[in-house]
Chain A
Amino acid sequence: MIETLAFYLFAGLVIAGGAMVIMSRNPVHSVLWLILAFFNAAGLMVLVGAEFIAMLLVIVYVGAVAVLFLFVVMMLDIDFAAMRAGFVKNFPLGIAIAVILLAELGLGIGAYGAGGLELGAADGTAAARSDVSNIEAIGALLYKPYIILFEIAGIILLVAMIGAIVLTHREPKPGARGRQDIGKQISRRPEDATVMKSPEYGEGVEL
């Protein structure tokens, strides 16, 4: 009873949040609606007993990705009229993408229903193993049968990260201003920077 209510609450909020992402006129509001959608999707994950995935969803998407979205969107100087101008032109493309995604979703559910993959029972009731915790179950899959794929994914991410750094890194010109040598700053002592003088009354100080 409570589970059913919670499911419809979370699912309804995900859909409402998703709809508001594309309907709200202010991009910052869109990001905030997106966060609401992410959060309720995590709630759905908790309902099916995948608490580890739910927490990762919140940590990675809400805690990191969406913050960066918000960070960028907040700093944009947005002309709302110009943003809506391309709507008619991009409409067919948007519809095409939506149709493709829907078809893929249908294909995925169809393949799952046909029992092609060993993911659980074909009627949609995945057999939950109560003796193994979520994290252990995922770990046993990820680090045993799929270890190669997992490592490849890690390497690809590392390469992408290094690529981003290489693309944005600018080597400073030698002697350029505004560069700091932290070691030099820390090793600076009061004796190096200050001189104690006791000048005669009425006379200046020569350094």
Chain B
Amino acid sequence: MTEFFQSFGMSYEWAWGVATIAGILLIALPLMLAVAMVIYVDRKVLGAIMLRRGPNVVGPFGLLQSFADGLKVFLQETIIPTAANKGIFLLAPIITFTVALAAWAVIPFADGVVLADINVGLLYILAISSLGVYGVVMSGWASNSKYPFFSAMRAAAQMISYEVSIGFILVCVVLWSKSFNMTEIVLAQKGHGLGIVNGFFFNPLLFPIFVVFFICALAETARAPFDLTEAESELVAGYQTEYSSMSFALFWLGEYANILLMCSLCTLLFVGGWLPPVEWAPLYYVPGFIWFLLKTFGFFLVFSWIWATVPRYRYDQLMRLGWKVFLPMSLIFVAIISGYLMATGHFAK
């Protein structure tokens, strides 16, 4: 895109700056739109599974419900509790939102369509997603209220526990694709299964860790059945209890942007990103980003399906699952996969 702006007679620095800002807007604005639509889909799926209609009043089929909610929230008064630590109280939702957007910089939407095609893309995502916990912890502490504080404690422990397993799972994927670069990880999945299907998903050694990754993604984004940070039966609304108006909306948007990020990570790491599912020529006529969006949306449907059907975990069960089941399992799989790859001469080249 830099060349495009240079053609208007800008110097390289200016063209680069303008191109980067344009790229950021091109990702962030559609992402916000996608978040709004995905919230609608989430509520609609939940409604369908619960045998009710879901949002159906604002706009055709209730499609504009999220925008109406956004407008309502925008017009509300921001209430800051007197006992709250004001600076951190206001900083927390901003951090959650910013971090949720920042990770999208390295997500390739199609071949070459990526804002920053850096060598350490996967590590960048891991680093940024590990920052997500600060928004929750800071909001819980700064609210100076008991329920948000409990929620913050839970969130901190939960996210750290599951990040460890996610790290080991990513090691397996990186070993197989020989790169931390997101684009190269996707390209490594081309014709992975018998030269026909694209995606690590169909690899018998990598399929179990995909399942673990998906469950970890649920825990990492604090979605049901791991939504203990906002368990309404025990903690009112968790860390969001004291928030109102836009500061609440930022949490909300950030949460769904994170869920979409995890869905797109599943897509990129395990089902071949923008590649069509099968190596058949006609499927390549469909543009890559359509495959990417379809797969991501498919994973999101599974997220909301799980939300509607699975009961919430108990907190000690959550910890046990993270430390005593997933961590040993992912460690063993790192050993098995690296052993298999060494034995078959994967790195011999």
Measured CB to CB, the residues of A under 8 A from B are 1-2, 26, 28-29, 32, 35, 51-52, 55-56, 58-59, 62-64, 67-68, 70-71, 74-75, 133-135, 180, 182
Contact among A63, A71, A74 for B163, CB-based, below 8 A: A63
Pick 29 A–B contacts, CB within 8 A, sort by A.
Answer: A28-B141, A29-B88, A32-B88, A51-B118, A52-B119, A52-B120, A52-B123, A55-B124, A56-B123, A58-B127, A58-B128, A59-B130, A63-B133, A63-B163, A64-B130, A64-B163, A67-B133, A67-B137, A67-B159, A68-B160, A70-B137, A71-B153, A71-B156, A71-B157, A74-B137, A74-B149, A135-B119, A135-B180, A180-B316
Q: Decide: B141 and A55 in contact? CB cutoff 8 A.
A: no
Interface residues of B in 120-174 (CB under 8 A from A): 120, 123-124, 126-128, 130-131, 133-134, 137-138, 141, 149, 152-153, 156-157, 159-160, 163
- Which residues of A lie under 8 Å from residue B128 when comparing CB positions? 58
Name which residue of chain A comes closest to B325, CB basis: A182
- Which residues of A lie under 8 Å from residue B137 when comparing CB positions? 67, 70-71, 74
Contact with A along B5-43 (1 / 0, CB 8 A): 000000001000000000000000000000000000000
Name which residue of chain B comes closest to A39, CB basis: B131
- Which residues of B lie under 8 Å from residue A55 when comparing CB positions? 120, 123-124, 126-127
Interface bin, chain B: 20 to 34
Q: Whole-angstrom distance from the CB of A180 to the nearest CB of chain B? A: 7
A70-B156 in contact given A180-B316, A182-B320 (Cβ < 8 Å): yes
Q: Whole-angstrom distance from the CB of B125 to the nearest CB of chain A? A: 10
- Which residues of A lie under 8 Å from residue B85 when comparing CB positions? 26
CA distance A26 to B128 in the complex (A): 26
- Which residues of B lie under 8 Å from residue A59 when comparing CB positions? 123, 126-127, 130
A58-B130 in contact given A1-B13, A64-B160, A135-B180 (Cβ < 8 Å): yes
Q: Decide: A62 and B131 in contact? CB cutoff 8 A.
A: yes
Centre residue among A55, A58, A180 by max chain B CB count within 10 A: A55
CA distance A71 to B155 in the complex (A): 10
Q: Whole-angstrom distance from the CB of A51 to the nearest CB of chain B? A: 5
The SS class assigned to the A binding surface is helix
- Which residues of B lie under 8 Å from residue A74 when comparing CB positions? 137, 141, 149, 152-153
CA distance A130 to B120 in the complex (A): 15
CA distance A30 to B254 in the complex (A): 26
Q: Whole-angstrom distance from the CB of B95 to the nearest CB of chain A? A: 10
Name which residue of chain B comes closest to A29, CB basis: B88
Name which residue of chain A comes closest to B159, CB basis: A67
- Which residues of B lie under 8 Å from residue A134 when comparing CB positions? 119-120
Contact with A along B302-319 (1 / 0, CB 8 A): 000000000000001000
Q: Decide: A63 and B123 in contact? CB cutoff 8 A.
A: no
Q: Decide: A32 and B138 in contact? CB cutoff 8 A.
A: yes
CA distance A55 to B128 in the complex (A): 9
- Which residues of B lie under 8 Å from residue A75 when comparing CB positions? 153
Q: Whole-angstrom distance from the CB of A181 to the nearest CB of chain B? A: 12
Given contacts A63-B130, A134-B119, 7 further A-B contacts (CB under 8 A): A1-B13, A32-B88, A51-B118, A58-B128, A63-B133, A68-B160, A74-B141
Name which residue of chain A comes closest to B157, CB basis: A71
Centre residue among A26, A59, A134, A135 by max chain B CB count within 10 A: A59
CA distance A104 to B124 in the complex (A): 32
- Which residues of B lie under 8 Å from residue A52 when comparing CB positions? 119-120, 123
Q: Whole-angstrom distance from the CB of B327 to the nearest CB of chain A? A: 13
Centre residue among A1, A56, A70 by max chain B CB count within 10 A: A70
Give the 6 A-B CB pairs with smallest separation, nearest first. Answer: A63-B130, A58-B127, A55-B123, A59-B127, A51-B120, A55-B127
- Which residues of B lie under 8 Å from residue A135 when comparing CB positions? 119-120, 180
Name which residue of chain B comes closest to A26, CB basis: B85
Name which residue of chain B comes closest to A57, CB basis: B127
Q: Whole-angstrom distance from the CB of B287 to the nearest CB of chain A? A: 30
Name which residue of chain A comes closest to B163, CB basis: A63
Name which residue of chain B comes closest to A135, CB basis: B180
Q: Whole-angstrom distance from the CB of A150 to the nearest CB of chain B? A: 16
CA distance A26 to B80 in the complex (A): 20
Q: Whole-angstrom distance from the CB of A105 to the nearest CB of chain B? A: 27
Contact among A1, A62, A68, A133 for B130, CB-based, below 8 A: A62
- Which residues of A lie under 8 Å from residue B88 when comparing CB positions? 28-29, 32
